[in-house]
Amino acid sequence: MTDADTVNADIRELVAEAERVLREHDLPAARTAFVAAGDCARDYGLWRAAARLYRRGLELDVVDREIIERLARLAVRFPNGGDWLEYRRALDAHPAWPHFGCRGTQVVIGDDGTVVTCPDVGVVLELMMSASDLVEIHPDARFADMPRAMALVIMRRAMWLSPREHTTEPMSVRVVFAGRPAVVLDELGDWTP
């Protein structure tokens, strides 16, 4: 067994534990396991894997300050790193935002338009699909200062209810958030300009 096999086995074991306790609806234990898996990946220099694992923990509570701090520390390693610094500033500016997860996110189409809802808080984003591969989103008024990274974490779950975590060719969609330049969001949760 190589060192890489050992590292991957360590991470896979932690992710499997996170998924197991998540199926049992033990969100605190799942969060702890996702963060531990992210820390393990980070310690071995697997920055992209670490970011993905932290984001999976963030899906359980999108205002989890500790996970945002971990992602902000990785910011220099990614072209979209500034989004995590913006996320941290938004949480500082809005300490009263409710804690909520986005694993049960739904896209709801009605007479008044299309919205993205999250369990426990309801509408979080307004959505318009202006082309077959382009989605335009705007935060709900309660979250007017929502950072782009938060919106994209939520949109990943809105677009792909069961994203394939281990795919070499992830599906993707272009996303325009609040009039900013489009990014390409893929089902793994990564985005690029």
Q: pLDDT tens string for the chain (193 positions)?
A: 444 545 688 899 999 999 999 999 999 999 999 999 999 999 999 999 999 999 999 999 999 999 999 999 998 898 888 999 999 999 999 999 999 999 999 999 988 889 999 999 999 999 999 888 899 999 999 999 999 999 999 999 999 988 888 788 999 999 999 999 999 999 999 999 8
Q: Which uninterrupted H or E stretch holds 107?
A: strand 106-110
Return the pLDDT at 1. 41
Asked which of 32, 65, 93 is the last residue of a domain, the reply is 93
Same structural domain for residues 76 and 18?
yes
Contact call for residues 58 and 30 (beta carbons, < 8 A)? no
Give Cβ neighbours of residue 51 (< 8 Å, ≥ 6 apart).
38, 71, 74, 78, 190
Report if residue 9 sits inside a domain: yes
Report if residue 101 sits inside a domain: no
Report if residue 100 sits inside a domain: no
Return the pLDDT at 89. 96
Report if residue 62 sits inside a domain: yes
Same structural domain for residues 38 and 81?
yes
Return the pLDDT at 2. 47
Please report, for the domain that includes residue 74, its CATH number: 1.25.40.10
Same structural domain for residues 76 and 15?
yes
Report if residue 99 sits inside a domain: no
Same structural domain for residues 63 and 120?
no
**Residue 154, Ramachandran bin (φ over 0: left; ψ between -120 and 50: alpha; else beta):** alpha
Asked which of 28, 60, 93 is the last residue of a domain, the reply is 93
Contact call for residues 87 and 149 (beta carbons, < 8 A)? yes
Same structural domain for residues 69 and 118?
no
Give the residue numbers spanning the domain of 77: 3-93
Asked which of 51, 70, 93 is the last residue of a domain, the reply is 93
Return the pLDDT at 7. 61
Same structural domain for residues 118 and 85?
no
Cα separation, 59 vs 56, whole angstroms:
5
Return the pLDDT at 80. 83
Report if residue 187 sits inside a domain: yes
- CA angle 125/88/164 to nearest 5° reads 55
Nearest C-alpha neighbor of 53 from the set 96, 19, 85? 19
Kindly tell me the burial class for residue 23, based on how many C-beta atoms sit within 10 Å of its own C-beta (0-12, 13-18, 19 or more): exposed
Same structural domain for residues 42 and 85?
yes
Same structural domain for residues 29 and 69?
yes
Same structural domain for residues 88 and 119?
no
Kindly tell me the burial class for residue 70, based on how many C-beta atoms sit within 10 Å of its own C-beta (0-12, 13-18, 19 or more): buried
Return the pLDDT at 5. 47
Same structural domain for residues 73 and 126?
no
Total domain count for the chain? Answer: 2
Same structural domain for residues 28 and 59?
yes
Same structural domain for residues 53 and 121?
no
pTM here? Answer: 0.92
DSSP letter assigned to residue 38? H
Nearest C-alpha neighbor of 150 from the set 83, 67, 51? 83
Structure tokens belonging to residue 44? 């071995």
